[in-house]
A and B are shown apart, each in its own frame.
Chain A
């Protein structure tokens, strides 16, 4: 249905150049399409994943100059230059991303700054080398393929194809697993990685796509204006303009940037050609302020939640393998220090298949650090972590998650702008099963029912209370059907009745064959639930065994109450 509407719209728009309208209309619409491509391409990375680029002009410019040099200086046919105009920015983008995306410190504002700086570097290089050399590149001699009766009509058609293509890509990404991963990166990148999202690969793919589309728009634009200069091409204006367009339309909607681009281009064009050009600019500024103040999520903001698939009964997809002999997890001599504080000082422990292992110890004893090391969030300093005989030390967190390890966070960390249903559907998409969105949502419903959150499925996590958010953490961890599950203080802050409910859930989880490591301060629950207990203190495992015996061990009592007890 959507595809049909899309093709229909494209077909109708493709007729325009054959209607014999004045060239002015075709050129105006060309500009609208041009900006739709730029705003939509910017949004693929920056809007979806939250990595704001201020240097979109760098990649646009790389496309402009690819075509300018190949067609204008070396005499290539215009259309043959376009693949290069897409490839050059994409390669440059991936090279940038391969360095920058590895540095967690370069998120947010600093990513914006580094892209801005890169734009100036590109501009300077182009300006001072034979690529341009200073005077600009004339392209009036470049032949434009005759796609329509007029030259402006041909540009119209080229830009139309690019614009439709960009919007289609934007839609496809938005609906896909890839898009879900990007949204999760936007909301909480660390959690996304631990849930199995290959964050580095996704960011690189989004950047490459974004750069390639911007480069294509640049390649066509260079011939459209027929004379390009460095200062006009590599300008911070471009990024400001596309950010403005995307924000105006709504960055979280696939069509938002296109709507914003059409609105801003039309307004600017109308006012700059009228006799009130200056007043018009001021009015554009004022409209912009009003829209952002009253619609902070853009014109399409209220429509930007993805529609959930109709709820359908999910058949049993896969079973957790029957237990094999030997421990599921073996930690040997695990050490981790933070700026001199030895959080883990050579921890040895084993988790047996199918058991519930209690991990207890005073605050600061290293329990959460141990979870973070096993799940790959922190790299281990020394020692080894064997999961089903496979070494996890040095593995990327998303690969560990795919192996079948899940965790909850002590302080719930839901993806704030995904619905409860989408939050729970994310791990099955990226975990062991690697399901598609529809199947993953079916799986998510099962776990929402299991944790009693069905009624809240379409809410945002902000609309849940603490107890519900803890259960959301649990549902999200379970939805990946983990072989090994770390529960990090799921009971803290809950009332006694809620604790009883949670204990029932944990038992039910184990019945399904999941091995559980249970970190908890609520001793009643530890005693009731666990088969064995390991006590951590000062980064070492000081005792292990049956819960009742361990808790009577004098070493353990010392660790909890201090040696000076009377």
Chain B
């Protein structure tokens, strides 16, 4: 039996990795739940954002400041993607396939520019860590958690309590009817799709702060983030964060209690159990 400190530290790191799952899942759940687009390219955009901020940080910029440059550009990319999908009225399943194509293209672009080698962002951030009793918290982890929580609750409040949010939800429910009531659903969808891509940029910075980057790593995140998105309920901005943390903590504790290789069993058995027992909870 490992010590309590080790378990506590594992649980804490589980919370932080879960926050990153949630941050990656935020854009996915919104575009899937509200626009019916299953956007695989989101994962590639996250990595593209991570590499861009890695490059800018290498040139001496503060990693968080790089967002000011990257996020607006990504907003345009996201809006452009939606324009394309809407222009050809691509079915939900086919959005998966089209964005898969984009994912492969972006991955190739990344590999062409930055090669397949591992890259690590060098900043002062990684060295900053605090002691909390027996436990340690590092600055990148804390930043990721705070950003994920702030973005998710911000989007939640926006959807819940503003006219813009109500219009978005109405358009998601039934676009033609919303349009008949004066909601400009086409413009809203462009806006939302752009915002999702901008969230990918944010997730990218957090990823670059805490993880080593390689183009092939893009695919490693798909399974677990999709799980978080679906457990959290499509279109619910707080869902991926909450589900991500549950998955992260259960993975981390399994790693501490048994062999690290057993970790996926817990999270995915959990997912299967939730799907079988409470299918209404998801989607």
**A: which residues have CB within 8 A of B?**
52, 99-100, 103, 105-106, 109-110, 113-114, 116-118, 120-121, 123-125, 127-128, 134, 235-237, 240, 243-244, 247, 278-279, 281-282, 284-289, 292-294, 296
Contact = CB atoms under 8 A, between A and B. Distances in A.
Contacts of A114: 271-272, 275-276
A113 B226 contact: yes
Contact of A282 (B84, B109, B219): B109
B103 A113 contact: no
A124 B101 contact: no
Given A113-B226, A127-B261, A247-B94, A289 B101 contact: yes
A128 B262 contact: yes
A288 B93 contact: no
A284 B104 CA distance: 8
The 5 A-B residue pairs with the shortest CB-CB distance in the complex, in nearest-first order: A105-B279, A285-B104, A282-B108, A289-B101, A288-B101
B-side interface size class:
35 or more
B280 A105 contact: yes
30 contacts: A100-B276, A105-B279, A106-B276, A110-B275, A110-B283, A113-B271, A113-B282, A114-B272, A117-B227, A117-B271, A117-B272, A118-B268, A118-B272, A120-B265, A123-B264, A127-B261, A128-B262, A134-B261, A237-B219, A240-B100, A278-B112, A279-B112, A281-B104, A282-B104, A282-B109, A285-B105, A288-B98, A288-B104, A289-B101, A296-B88
B111 interface: yes
Contacts of B180: none
A287 B105 CA distance: 10
Contacts of B100: 240, 244, 285, 288
Nearest to B99: A289
Contact of B101 (A109, A237, A286, A296): A286
Contact of B105 (A116, A134, A235, A282): A282
A287 B90 CA distance: 16
B111 to A, nearest CB: 5
Contacts of A124: 261-265, 268
Contacts of B102: 285, 289
A243 B97 contact: yes
A110 B262 contact: no
B106 to A, nearest CB: 8
Contact of A292 (B90, B276, B282, B283): B90
A103 B279 contact: yes
B91 interface: yes
Contact of A296 (B94, B230, B259, B263): B94
Task: Decide if the interface of chain A is mainly helix, strand, loop or mixed.
Answer: helix
Contacts of A282: 104-105, 108-109, 112
A244 B97 contact: yes
A293 B103 contact: no
B223 A236 contact: yes
Contacts of A240: 100
Interface centre among A120, A123, A235 (most CB of B within 10 A): A120
B107 interface: yes
A243 B222 CA distance: 16
Contacts of B162: none
Interface centre among A100, A109, A243 (most CB of B within 10 A): A109
B179 to A, nearest CB: 22
A539 B239 CA distance: 40
> Interface centre among A106, A244, A296, by most B CB within 10 Å?
A296
Nearest to A50: B93
A240 B44 CA distance: 15
A285 B44 CA distance: 13
Contacts of B263: 124
B3 interface: no
Contacts of B101: 285-289, 292
Contacts of B261: 124, 127-128, 134
A350 B204 CA distance: 68
Contact of A106 (B91, B108, B223, B279): B279
Given A110-B279, A237-B219, A117 B104 contact: no
B104 to A, nearest CB: 3
A121 B97 contact: no
B275 A113 contact: yes
A278 B263 CA distance: 33
B137 to A, nearest CB: 29
B223 A116 contact: yes
Given A120-B268, A286-B101, 8 more contacts: A103-B279, A113-B227, A114-B271, A120-B223, A120-B265, A134-B261, A237-B219, A279-B112
A116 B38 CA distance: 15
A114 B222 CA distance: 14
A294 B84 CA distance: 12
A103 B267 CA distance: 21
A52 B96 CA distance: 12
A308 B91 CA distance: 28
B88 A121 contact: no
Contact of A121 (B105, B268, B279): B268
B175 to A, nearest CB: 19
B107 A281 contact: yes
A113 B230 contact: yes
Given A113-B226, A285-B103, A103 B276 contact: yes
A121 B269 contact: yes
A237 B97 CA distance: 13
B25 to A, nearest CB: 13
A242 to B, nearest CB: 12
Nearest to B270: A117
Interface in B16-43: 38
Contacts of A109: 38, 230, 283
B279 A293 contact: no
Interface string B228-244: 00100000000000000
Interface string B189-228: 0000000000000000000000000000001001100110
A286 B262 CA distance: 38
Contacts of B38: 109
A105 B275 CA distance: 9
Nearest to A251: B93
A121 B227 CA distance: 13
Interface in B85-144: 88, 90-91, 93-94, 96-98, 100-105, 107-109, 111-112
Nearest to A243: B97
Contacts of A287: 101
Contacts of A100: 276
Contacts of A244: 97, 100
